[in-house]
Amino acid sequence: MNPKVIVANWKMNKSFEEAEDLISEIAEAIDQWTLQTQVVICPPFPYLELGSDHADESQFSCGAQNCSEFDNGAYTGEVSAEMLEGLEVDFCIVGHSERRAYFNETNVQIAKKIDQLLKRTIIPIVCCGEKLEERNNNNHFDIVKSQIEETLFHLDNDMMENVIIAYEPIWAIGTGVNATPAQAQEMHAFIRSLIEKKYGTQIAYNLPILYGGSCNPMNALELFTQNDIDGGLIGGASLKAENFLSIIEAAETVIKEN
């Protein structure tokens, strides 16, 4: 069983003041715990400095939600991996289904973003997941396989050791309908088997595969007790300290029981 990683994806939410309050509340609580879980908070870009300043003195790390596929240059509105590195950001979500759907991100672009991040020693949290229609047509394994292969399989072993994968079935995101623990486990085991075939047992075993999609304090414990679920990528439930802290507690419970 891998160490649990719990990532907050705030998406495009919170005023600056609300962000300050939420980060402080989470930091104050977890700093009283002997924490074994790796906690990562990914606020919107304008709050990254706030996040990384707090992260310096707390038990969580700061992550971004996206980065540019390009090096610095004339790309108005973009944020480079080098800039994230300058802010001491340690993680970055890439290839979220909302970016694929609303900003037409492709696997090819996501692969370039992953390269940019790894060049700067920022850990990419690479999202994959199928639409409901694809699952209903029994295409979900093929879709996830091509997302994994096309975004990650150009990496060599050393690079692959610094990657996190998040399986987020699109039909479960923000709907209140999570994948059942059995559905999630089945896909996570499939993803791990793909990694194992290409990179070997050691890398596959160590690679954290997170589940995302309506993960909340009620279902977190059962999801995290599945063999191949190494933590969660949390949207809505990360926007309230109480809920996010309960999810971290669920991860801690699973670690202690193993």
Answer for which of 67, 234, 250, 254 binds ligand 13P (CB under 6 A) is 234
- The question of whether 168 is a catalytic residue gets the answer yes
The least CB distance from residue 15 to ligand 13P, in Å, is 19
Q: Please tell me whether residue 5 adopts helix, strand or coil conformation.
A: strand
- Burial environment of residue 34 by CB neighbours within 10 A (0 to 12, 13 to 18, 19 or more): exposed
Answer for which of 85, 229, 235, 248 binds ligand 13P (CB under 6 A) is 235
How many residues line the site for ligand 13P (CB under 6 A)?
14
Instruction: Judge contact between 97 and 126, C-beta under 8 A.
Output: no
Answer for which of 204, 212, 224, 230 binds ligand 13P (CB under 6 A) is 212
Is 173 among the residues that bind ligand 13P (CB under 6 A)? yes
Residue nearest to ligand 13P (CB): 235
Residues in contact with ligand 13P, shown as a per-residue x/- string from 89 to 118 under the rule CB under 6 A: -------x----------------------
The active-site residue out of 105, 168, 249, 252 is: 168
The CA distance from 99 to 247, in Å, is 25
Nearer to ligand 13P, 131 or 198 (CB): 131
The least CB distance from residue 132 to ligand 13P, in Å, is 14
Q: How far is CA 149 from CA 8, 75, 123, 128, 133, in A?
A: 25, 28, 18, 11, 21
b/e map 7-33, b = 16+ CB within 10 Å: bbbbbeebeeeebeebbeebbebbeee
The CA distance from 191 to 243, in Å, is 28
- The question of whether 188 is a catalytic residue gets the answer no
Nearer to ligand 13P, 7 or 199 (CB): 7
Is 6 among the residues that bind ligand 13P (CB under 6 A)? no
- Burial environment of residue 145 by CB neighbours within 10 A (0 to 12, 13 to 18, 19 or more): middle
Stretch that binds ligand 13P, among 30-38, 140-148, 192-200, 212-220 (CB under 6 A): 212-220
Joined tokens for residue 228: 């191949």
Give me the active site residues, please: 96, 168
| Binding stretches for ligand 13P (CB under 6 A) | 9, 96, 168, 173-174, 212-215, 233-237
